[in-house]
Structure 1
C-alpha cells in the first residue's frame, strides 16, 4: 500500500508539473521584477534618453520600467526568447516532481492510512494538516537541488546573453553548481523550500481531502469528476494564498548571483524578506500571485484529477 501511494502521487505530480510549467515560469519572472540586486545592465530601467541642442548633448535620467502583468510577461518572453522558452527548465520540473512530489504525496498517503480512524474511516482536519506539514518538509529537503536548478533555468533568459548561466539540462545545472559554488549551494534556500512545501502540502492535500469529504457528506455532488475538480480548485486557492510570500523570497534567494569574494545580496531568508518589503512594500510578497493562482489552480486540478484516475487504474495492484 505504501509504495503504491508513492507511485500514484509521482505519476500525477509529473503530469501536473509539466502541463503547468509555462505558468510557473511566468510566475518566477514576475517574482523577480523590481529586484534591485541585478547586474547594472539589467536593472529594471529603460535606456536613458539623449537629445542635442546646438553642440551640447543632454542625457535624461533612466526611467524605471513599470511592472507588467502575467500576459505581458508571457508575450514578451515568447517575443524575445521564442516559444520554446516557455518550457525552460522543464527537465528540472520533472526531476523536482520525481523527488519532491513523489516523496510528499507518498508520505502523506502513508500517514493518512496510519492515522485514519479504523471505525469511522475519517481523519480529523488537524491530523491532515499535521500529515501535510511532515510530508511536505521531508519532500522539500529531498527535492531542493532540483528546485534551485529549476528557478535558475527559468530565470536565465531575463539576463543579457553574456551573463546567462546557459545550463544545458537539470543534470548540467546541478553538476556545475556543485563544482563552481560547492555542494551546499544545492541546498541554498532550503529552509524556505521546506517552509513553503510544508505550507503548500498541508494546505493543498489537507484542504482537498476536507473539501471532498464535505461535498460528499452533504450530498452536493457524487464522487466523480465534478467533485474532484471543485475540491482541487478550492485547495489550489488555499495553497496559493498560504505559500506566495515564502515563494517570492525562495525565488529571490535561490536566483541570487554570488560573486567570488563579494558579499551576497541577501544574508538569508529573513534578510531577503526585510529588504524586499523595505524596497518594494509589503505587497511585494504577493508578486506573481495571479500567475501563482493561475498555476496553482490548474496544477492542483490536474494533480488530483490525474491522481484519482491513476488510483482507479492501479486499484487491483
Structure 2
C-alpha cells in the first residue's frame, strides 16, 4: 500500500459509506493494537503495583518496579506471549469502540462546523469528549475482561489460584460474581478516561492535521498524518493517564459476596486513597508505557485508516 498517497490522488474510487468508514476504523485500531499491546499490559501492571489498599485488604504484595523491569519480568516469569494477554477482549472492544467513536465524532463535527467548513479547537474537543464517552460506555465490559486477564498473571505469581485460562472463561466468571451490571464495574472512570483520551486523540489529530495543511500548505498525505498522530498520542497520554489509573484499579479489585468491590467504594474513594497513600504522582503511574503505547498506536491507527481510505477512494479523516 503506497504510504505517500494523498487525498488529491487516491488509488481508486469507492462508495464512502458509514459502514465502510466504521469497518476501516476497526481495522486501523486492530493493526495498532497488535503492534503496541505489550505497552498496555505493562502499563496495567505498573498501575496496580504499590497499591496500598490492595496490600492492606487483599494481601497483595507491594512491588515497585520500573517499566523495563516489569516488562522483562513478565516475559521471563510468565512467558513472552503473556505480554499479549487480554488481546482478544481488546479486539472485541475495538469492534464496538473504534468504529463508534469515529462515526460519532464525524457526525458531531459535520453538525457544528462553521460556514467555511472548519472546526474550532473547542468544538473538536467537545466532539472528542462526547464520542469517546458514548463509545466507551457501550464497550466497557470488554475493557473489564481485558484488565482482569492482564492482572491474572501477577495474581498467580503471588501464590493465588488461577481463576480462568481464556477470554470466555473470564466473561463467565465475572457474570457469576456480579451479574450483568457487574460488567460495568469501573465504567465511570473508564468513560471519563475514554472521553479525555479521545479529546486528545480525535480532536488533537483533527485540529493538528487541519493546522498543518492550512498554515504550511501541506498536502493531505502521510507526512501530515504522522505529524498529527504524534501530537494526538502525546495529548491523549497527558490528559488520560489519571483516569486510566483509577479505571485499572477499580476494574482489578476483588469483589465480595455482594458483587461489589472490596477495596474502593467508587472512583472518588479510589482517587482519595491513591493520593493519600501513595502521593499525587500515583495518578501518573504507567504514564511512560501509556505514552509509548499511545504515540505509536495513534501513528499506526491513523496511518492505516487514512491509507486504507485512500486506497479505496474514500475520504480521509
- Structure of larger gyration radius: 1
Q: Which has the higher contact order (CA 8 A, sep 6+)?
A: 2
Q: CA offsets per residue over residues 167-192 of structure 1, 9 Å max, x none?
A: 33333322221122211110001111
So what's the TM-score if we normalise by structure 2? 0.87
Q: Does 1:237 align with 2:226?
A: no
What's the counterpart of residue 5 of structure 2? none
The whole-number CA distance in structure 2 between the counterparts of 1:201 and 1:263 is 28
What's the counterpart of residue 23 of structure 1? 39
What's the counterpart of residue 23 of structure 2? 7
What's the counterpart of residue 108 of structure 1? 105
Q: CA deviation at 1:136?
A: 0.8
So what's the TM-score if we normalise by structure 1? 0.87
Distance 1:297 1:316, change over 3 A: closer
The whole-number CA distance in structure 2 between the counterparts of 1:316 and 1:220 is 22
The whole-number CA distance in structure 2 between the counterparts of 1:147 and 1:306 is 23
The whole-number CA distance in structure 2 between the counterparts of 1:5 and 1:115 is 20
What's the counterpart of residue 127 of structure 2? 131
Figure out how many residues of one structure are paired with residues of the other and give that number.
295
What's the counterpart of residue 285 of structure 1? 283
* 2:144 aligned to which of 121, 128, 148: 148
SS of residue in 2 equivalent to 1:218: helix
* Aligned residues of 2:253 and 2:261 also touching (Cα < 8 A): no
The whole-number CA distance in structure 1 between the counterparts of 2:143 and 2:163 is 17
* Aligned residues of 1:21 and 1:86 also touching (Cα < 8 A): yes
Distance 1:285 1:164, change over 3 A: farther
Q: CA RMSD in A?
A: 2.0
Gapped runs of 5+ residues in structure 2?
1-16
Q: CA offsets per residue over residues 256-289 of structure 1, 9 Å max, x none?
A: 0013269711000000000000100000000000
* Aligned residues of 1:93 and 1:146 also touching (Cα < 8 A): yes
The whole-number CA distance in structure 1 between the counterparts of 2:156 and 2:202 is 40
What's the counterpart of residue 306 of structure 2? 308
What's the counterpart of residue 48 of structure 1? none
* 1:268 aligned to which of 266, 269, 279: 266
SS of residue in 2 equivalent to 1:163: coil
The whole-number CA distance in structure 2 between the counterparts of 1:41 and 1:255 is 14
* 1:76 aligned to which of 73, 77, 80: 73
Q: CA offsets per residue over residues 80-126 of structure 1, 9 Å max, x none?
A: 00111111011011011111222112211222233334x52211222
* Aligned residues of 1:21 and 1:93 also touching (Cα < 8 A): no
User: More displaced, 3-12 or 75-84?
Assistant: 3-12
Gapped runs of 5+ residues in structure 1?
45-64
What's the counterpart of residue 205 of structure 1? 202
The whole-number CA distance in structure 1 between the counterparts of 2:298 and 2:148 is 24
What's the counterpart of residue 87 of structure 1? 84
